[in-house]
Structure 1
Amino acid sequence: MTIARWLCALATLTAPSVAIAQQAMRLDTRMFVERVTTDINGRERRVLSNADRIAPGDQLVFVVHWRNEGSNPAKGFAITKAVPRGARVDASDPGMDVSVDGGAHWGRLDQFWLPTPLGGVRRAGPEDVTHVRWTLPRSALPGESGRLSYRAVAR
């Protein structure tokens, strides 16, 4: 994927968005690249840096900040984010549901099968994930905020 496409995806992700007007839930997503460096003592250090340059194989970290800006609690709210094209999601988070069909169906990655060009089926893989979703386990009170994250690899 070209850097221009990644920058377009990054611009879309970092723009604040309002999820559902009635619940006034504000979502802000940031994308980082995880870099592994060695310090002066020879120890590995993992550092998150801005995603201004992305290459295939880079470890990506997406951080979703949410805030209930409404005057009522948000009950059973689901935070849904599209996965940027060219990112292979790490779907191992037990609190995260995934979709491989644009958000029509949700579940764990190992529950999905996709058709093959020759008429068979195959198990869906991390590269097939189109959307990720988390359902808040309890009501989010007015003014309450939180953070969710997921990892991916640039293809």
Structure 2
Amino acid sequence: MLKKIIISFVASSLLAGAAQAQGVSLTARVLQEKTVAEAGVKRVVLVPAGNVTPGQEVIYDLSYANGGAKPAEQVVLTNPVPATLEYVAGDSALVSVDGGKTFAVLTSLKVANADGTQRPAAPKDVTHVRWNLATIAPGASGHVLFKARLK
């Protein structure tokens, strides 16, 4: 069974208001890894995600750029993990398992079981991913990534 991932990003919700006021723009893409062969050499490239089957991974790529004349300070990017996906990994990301209320590295988070006991949080518990970028110089750009698997 094929499922099409429908991606909609509201850039303003991903960027802290202060960063937008400082001239920072954001572009979001959802990609898949594809193996290609060129001259007998195989390599992995990223292509826009199309039809994705359960169990396949996608990569969320959030690109940012400071088009302002001054450094953008204390920039925070937050991306919700859609309910149809399970978080796999991210680059230097903090995560939330409580709907975006608190953020920390995954290994330090706990979630409540139905009986009220606590267990270590697992990737399937992640609801949001966050990056604290600190300062982005004028004209500077970059990107952050996280992987997720279609349930």
Task: Say yes or no: TM over 0.5.
Answer: yes
TM-score, normalised by the number of residues in structure 1:
0.79
Could you give the per-residue CA deviations for residues 100-128 of structure 1, whole angstroms, max 9, x where no partner exists? 11221111101111111122222111111
| 1:140/1:102 CA distance change after superposition, 3 Å | same
- Mapped pair 1:68 → 2:66: yes
Structure 2 match to 1:130? 127
Distance in 2 between residues matched to 1:92 and 1:60, nearest whole Å: 12
Structure 2 match to 1:144? 140
Structure 2 match to 1:114? 111
Task: Within 5 Å, give how 1:14-93 maps onto structure 2.
Answer: 17-18=11-12, 19=15, 20=17, 21-36=20-35, 41=40, 44-91=42-89, 93=91
Could you give the per-residue CA deviations for residues 72-123 of structure 1, whole angstroms, max 9, x where no partner exists? 3111211111122222223363x21111112211111011111111222221
Point out where structure 2 has 5 or more consecutive residues left out of the alignment. Answer: none
TM-score, normalised by the number of residues in structure 2:
0.81
Q: Does the aligned pair in 2 maintain the 1:57–1:153 contact within 8 Å?
A: yes
Q: Describe the SS at the equivalent of 1:106.
A: coil
Report percent identity of matched pairs: 30
| 1:148/1:81 CA distance change after superposition, 3 Å | same
- Mapped pair 1:153 → 2:149: yes
Point out where structure 1 has 5 or more consecutive residues left out of the alignment. Answer: none
| 1:38/1:85 CA distance change after superposition, 3 Å | farther
Aligned length: 146
Could you give the per-residue CA deviations for residues 30-64 of structure 1, whole angstroms, max 9, x where no partner exists? 001223466784x6532322212011111211111
| 1:44/1:59 CA distance change after superposition, 3 Å | farther
Distance in 2 between residues matched to 1:154 and 1:44, nearest whole Å: 25
Structure 1 match to 2:93? 96
Distance in 2 between residues matched to 1:136 and 1:37, nearest whole Å: 33
